[in-house]
Amino acid sequence: MRSSSSRGRTSHTARRRTAHRRTATVALAGVTALIAAAVQAGAATAAPEAPRPGRANPAHTAVKLTPSQRAELIRHADAGRTAAARRLGLGDQEKLVVKDVVKDADGTLHTRYERTYAGLPVLGGDLVVATDSAGKTMEVVRATNATLKVAGLTPAVPEATAERQAVGRAKALGGTKPAADSVRKVIWAATGKPVLAYETVVGGLQEDGTPNELHVITDAATGQKLYEYQGVKNGVGNTQYSGQVTLTTTQSGSTYNLTDGARGGHKTYNLNRGTSGTGTLFSQSSDTWGNGTSSNAATAGADAHYGAALTWDFYKSTFGRTGIKNNGVGAYSRVHYGNAYVNAFWTDSCFCMTYGDGSGNTKPLTSIDVAGHEMSHGVTSATANLNYSGESGGLNEATSDIMAAGVEFYANNTTDVGDYLVGEKIDINGNGTPLRYMDKPSKDGASKDNWYSGIGGVDVHYSSGPANHFFYLLSEGSGAKVVNGVSYNSPTADGLPVTGIGRDKALQIWYRALSTKWTSTTNYAGARTGTLAAAGELYGTTSAEYKAVQDAWAGVGVGARSGGGGGGGGTSYESSTPVSIPDNGPAVTSDITVSGRTGNAPNNLQVSVDIAHTWRGDLVIDLVGPSGTAYRLKDYSSSDSGDGVNETYTVNAAAESANGTWKLRVQDQATYDTGTINGWKLTFP
């Protein structure tokens, strides 16, 4: 039961709070050592001059590893995982499992681990450890800061109870399978205090014919459902036409087949309206595939094969990544799934991409951006593995939209030009409009333009809106413009302009955050922290690129603007040094030193706060002026279960001298949740 340090709480209140606890995500614990070193501790001043655009720092650019080089790094990390666990202070029952390694040109290694506890997988226990060339730990990014300890390993609830709950939930979502595919014991650590739990997976088909891999997490002590997510990542894409393209195929005797030996052996199969298995590998006597229309089954095969090749080439050329898992192995594609199935999906369990034929079986969803979108779900799974629910689910979907745009621009196909639209060629709505818009997501009628506290409860395809919007702003900037013949007009949450840095740099920042900064539980506040860390490493913390990341996130309601961005000629002073907030502990402070001003502070001083914290109602936040006087910004609330505080407060500070040390004081006044002051800013109008 939760208890407040300031006063007792009735058991009724505690039960109500537990019952209404939503599946909160945990933000990043901190940013890189580079950023921590680059911002002077305890002081921040307005930038003396405008940031300048920079070139990517080659030292902090990931090395393009061959599959064998990557495998060797993983083997080396695996050999040292026991020592790594000891250095990290993990408990005797905890073990690390190496998932991936990214190497920078300066020798820095970013090793991504999963964790086990007493032999059980820990869901939400993943972490990324950055070590320098000498093996010294520089940074640890954790999916949870909670100590891994559970009361016992013997469930009080039978496995059959968890299975019934999961099967019932699947039926409520349109599933028809009477039993679960699997049930296993796990430690659930992604949302608050770690507990012994069951993970139940229910297969079969969803209501629209999409395969089902519903994961339901059940508390093994109480039987309460803790979390659920869909393992099959699906989305929608374009029609079949990319014009006449070149395909890499394989000749066997007198026949050709759709096997791409240049890209990990990627194969494309014809399901011929089936819904299981691989179907038949496309093979024929001619190396000319399809006729450009849905009347020929090989047309969809050609488009899918082409999209897979483009996606492989995009990741390799842009990020040095060889294949979805970066191991040189190709996935495979299946076309003609089901009957008039208007969707496409990626499945981790088969490492495969599947396309339906669309309305009337005449519009296969096999275009460039759908291939890039769905296969990027595989890349996300192999890197940050963002949970497919809540805010992390929105970031998962947005990553696929963002990378799909990257693939489409990379293709430079005159028939299907690069754009910031999703599904612009499939007319699901019957009015010729795209399914999603990155410049103004709300134009689709459901997506959200900006972050707000309840966005974690929105379907992941629509909670992706703020991240898509951020990427567009970072790439192209706000306002009206035309790109590749397509008109856009992107607003901002605060009404202030954003200057873009170009799509190429925006992609590099997003990918570096995905591959080295984010974990399975990263939410929007954590995404901001990770992209700032990435921008700082690549371009420097005083660069125009770093400033643009701050401003683009502020443009979608996440965090504060960069210094001097307060509008109306205001001057801003900012601290970006992370400060950990202990659970139900003493208050912590972050300082900003203001100098060079005259007179007192204004009666409308703006205080912009960026705090990552689960169950933000635990927090009490004050601004402390140079005189020591405290100005309350946020009170404690036992009922506010939202994640993070990203707000701008107005304070009448006219009694304070403008110059001096200002403090943001934050205290967690209840147990079970922790967080981080990511940064904060003072703006003098």
- 631-684 pLDDT, tens digit per residue, is 999 999 888 887 789 888 889 999 999 999 999 999 999 988 889 998 898 988
CA 41/CA 660 separation, integer angstroms? 15
Report phi then psi at 544, rounded to 5: -65, -30
- For residue 136, what are the contacts with CB-CB under 8 A and spacing of at least 6? none
Alpha helices by DSSP H, listed for 383-459, are 390-411
Bridging pattern class, strands 214-219 and 225-230: antiparallel
Residue count of the chain, please give it. 685
Instruction: Give me the amino acid identity at 285.
Output: S
Predicted confidence at residue 23, as pLDDT, reads 30
Active site residue 537: no
Predicted confidence at residue 676, as pLDDT, reads 93
- For residue 470, what are the contacts with CB-CB under 8 A and spacing of at least 6? 552, 553, 555, 556, 558
Q: Spell out, as residue ranges, where the chain has pLDDT lower than 50.
A: 1-48, 236-239, 564-569
CA 451/CA 278 separation, integer angstroms? 40
| Bridge partner list, 195 | 188
- For residue 577, what are the contacts with CB-CB under 8 A and spacing of at least 6? 36, 39, 41, 42, 590, 679
- For residue 322, what are the contacts with CB-CB under 8 A and spacing of at least 6? 65, 66, 67, 264, 315, 316, 328
SS3 407: helix
Q: Are 308 and 370 in contact (CB under 8 A)?
A: no
Radius of gyration of the chain measured on its C-alpha atoms: 25
Active site residue 461: yes
Task: Considering the candidates 94, 374, 408, 574, report the single residue annotated as catalytic.
Answer: 374
Task: Considering the candidates 461, 469, 537, 545, report the single residue annotated as catalytic.
Answer: 461
Nearest CA among 122, 298, 115, 311 for reference residue 199? 122
Predicted confidence at residue 500, as pLDDT, reads 97
Nearest CA among 612, 621, 615 for reference residue 672? 615
DSSP string, 89-104: T--TTEEEEEEEEEEB
All domains of the chain, ordered by start, with CATH? 11-27+564-684 (2.60.120.260), 52-138 (3.10.450.490), 159-230 (3.10.450), 236-382 (3.10.170.10)
Buried b (16+ CB within 10 A) or exposed e, 344-354: bbbbbeebbbb
